[in-house]
Structure 1
Amino acid sequence: MDIIELFKALVLGIVEGLTEFAPVSSTGHMIIVDDMWLKSEQFLTQYVANTFKVMIQLGSILATVVVFKDRFIDLLGLGGRLNKTTVGPGRLKLSQVIVGLIPAGILGVLFEDYIDEHLFSTETVLIGLVIGAILMIAADRFGPKEPKIQTLDQITYKHAFTIGLVQCFSLWPGFSRSGATISGGVLAGLSHRTAADFTFIMAVPIMFGASAISFYKNLEYFTLDALPFFIVGFISAFVFALISIRFFLKLINRIKLVPFAIYRIVLAGVIALIYFT
């Protein structure tokens, strides 16, 4: 594998790290960058290329674990309780996170092969970008002006399940997991920051699960030649995700979702113009 291919892995990792936690669709950006410029599937099979995209998402997820390490330690009951006053009916529970994962988890298992084979394309991403943007605008428009849920510890099982239902939309590439779940959280009465925090925490187990399934199904495609490509992508996604998570969490309560929705619509228009002309 030459330096050009490693550069492609670096670029895809950066794109993933910068976009995974913004509601703009990291998968959509990777598909667009790869399909229209990098063409990584010219030297990797389709299944290995898709597995690579899952792996660099895993790099971003590990960055989430670092940022929320105290919260995950608390959820797993490993000691080191959070140094903050409990608000509301009690602390966020691991079982509430699991409830939020159930709807998309079931659909993801049932339709994983179909999604991998038929939905990873520029055309489907354009659809997801636009429809996801509409949902985000609706969330800002119809969500409560003064949300009652201001911390993770105020989230109930009903909130978790509602957000989980909306997360199902993110199985469509381009829709954006964070865009869907933050919108669902805002519509359910959470502040934008709390919805974002819960979104990132839910992303960890679901992406670990997706990675494990993908690795198991495509293990035969991993070779020593492809290994540097995976390592470079993973590291770059991890580093840039650390940067983007902290920046996004400081920003989201202030600017909310509409600016990201406008970006998605403009991006979809530019890509459609380039791709179809």
Structure 2
Amino acid sequence: MELILLFKALVLGVVEGLTEFLPVSSTGHLILAGELLDFNDAKGKVFEIVIQSGAILAVCWEYRAKLWGVTTGLGRRDRTSWRFVTNLLIAFLPAAVLGLLFASAIKAHLFYPVPVALALIVGGLLILWAERREHQIRVHDVDDMTWRDALKIGFAQSLALIPGTSRSGATIIGGLFFGLSRRVATEFSFFLAIPTLFAATLYDLLKHRDLLAAADLPMFAVGFVASFISAFIAVRGLLRFISRHDFTVFAWYRIVFGGIVLLTAYTGLIGWTAA
């Protein structure tokens, strides 16, 4: 396998891992990076799906004690464990249903650099708005969330079907609007990523299984490992960051980055693919 292809896999794996759990849109960054690396064909899209599993595994590893406690609690019919799992299922359903209904249309019309840039900017403005309003915190622990909290966050996550919006950004900022503390909103976003990304990965792999080949295993392995390591670093780093800061820096990053993409598209400096 060509070294250049392995290099592209490494870069995209790092991009996926670093951006999956930050409120900056991993899908948007992968679309843009894929364009720049000329790795945005059908096989490139399947590759992006596969490396998500590395990011999922990183969250599972980081929260292995919590997940094991919930798993054993289900066997003991522990009420807190059952409520936690029920909340995840409730939060997962809106995006799952809407994704099945509209995913094809969204991919056909919005999976391009300029729509991604616009979504990045709009999302950044919403984060600024969320951070400048007065927070009224009701929920200080993930286990204290109600099914209504979970449902609201589930609908917020549905916004991330639009590339550039950010799944983690939608759920975290939605959580702030709905009365969750920053840490609870962030941790629930991490936990919700597990069923959401796992289901999306499995669905897309089955749908595009004809594009998978044994010869691509080294490329997938490099991307998977890079995604796992960088996602693990990003998750721990974000938890430390929010203990002292808000999400304003991510808002400005989105606005500036989106603005640069629009500027390069308008001036023709970069020949971004148009819908």
User: Normalising to structure 2: TM-score of the pair?
Assistant: 0.90
Asked whether 1:71 is paired with 2:66, we answer: yes
Check the 8 A contact 1:63/1:239 in 2, yes or no: yes
Of all paired residues, the percent bearing the same amino acid is 39
2:191 is aligned to 201
Secondary structure of 1:174 counterpart: coil
Asked whether 1:189 is paired with 2:179, we answer: yes
Determine the C-alpha separation between the residues in 2 that align with 1:53 and 1:263. 23
Check the 8 A contact 2:10/2:222 in 1, yes or no: yes
Asked whether 1:248 is paired with 2:238, we answer: yes
2:220 is aligned to 230
Secondary structure of 1:33 counterpart: helix
Secondary structure of 1:226 counterpart: helix
Paired residues in the alignment total 265
Determine the C-alpha separation between the residues in 1 that align with 2:33 and 2:243. 29
2:4 is aligned to 4
| 1:110-125 map, 5 Å | 110-125=101-116
Secondary structure of 1:40 counterpart: coil
One of 265, 269, 272 as aligned partner of 2:255:
265
Secondary structure of 2:213 counterpart: coil
Determine the C-alpha separation between the residues in 1 that align with 2:3 and 2:202. 28
1:140 is aligned to 131
Determine the C-alpha separation between the residues in 1 that align with 2:188 and 2:165. 18
Provide Cα deviations, 1:158-191, integer angstroms capped at 9, x if missing partner: 1111111111111111100011000110111111
Provide Cα deviations, 1:31-68, integer angstroms capped at 9, x if missing partner: 11111x21113xxx42x322211211221111000011
1:38 is aligned to 37
* Alpha-carbon spacing, 1:231–1:118, altered in 2? closer, same or farther (3 Å): farther
Provide Cα deviations, 1:65-92, integer angstroms capped at 9, x if missing partner: 00111222233336899xxxxxxx9565
Determine the C-alpha separation between the residues in 2 that align with 1:54 and 1:78. 32
Give the residue type in structure 2 aligned to 1:104.
A
1:13 is aligned to 13
Which structure 1 residue ranges, 5 or more long, are not aligned?
82-88
* Alpha-carbon spacing, 1:235–1:80, altered in 2? closer, same or farther (3 Å): farther
Determine the C-alpha separation between the residues in 2 that align with 1:52 and 1:187. 34
Aligned CA RMSD, in angstroms, stands at 2.0
Determine the C-alpha separation between the residues in 1 that align with 2:38 and 2:111. 14
Give the residue type in structure 2 aligned to 1:269.
G
Provide Cα deviations, 1:117-169, integer angstroms capped at 9, x if missing partner: 33221012112101211221222123525x23111111111111111111111
One of 79, 99, 104 as aligned partner of 2:95:
104
Secondary structure of 2:180 counterpart: coil
* Alpha-carbon spacing, 1:143–1:70, altered in 2? closer, same or farther (3 Å): farther
Runs of 4+ in 1 over 3 A off after TM superposition: 77-81, 89-92
Asked whether 1:22 is paired with 2:13, we answer: no
| 1:40-59 map, 5 Å | 40-41=39-40, 45-46=41-42, 48-59=43-54
Asked whether 1:218 is paired with 2:208, we answer: yes
* Alpha-carbon spacing, 1:222–1:90, altered in 2? closer, same or farther (3 Å): closer
Which structure 2 residue ranges, 5 or more long, are not aligned?
268-275
Determine the C-alpha separation between the residues in 2 that align with 1:230 and 1:90. 38
User: Normalising to structure 1: TM-score of the pair?
Assistant: 0.90
Give the residue type in structure 2 aligned to 1:25.
S
Determine the C-alpha separation between the residues in 2 that align with 1:12 and 1:137. 28
Provide Cα deviations, 1:76-120, integer angstroms capped at 9, x if missing partner: 336899xxxxxxx95652001111111111111112222333322
1:95 is aligned to 86
Provide Cα deviations, 1:11-47, integer angstroms capped at 9, x if missing partner: 0000111111110111111111111x21113xxx42x
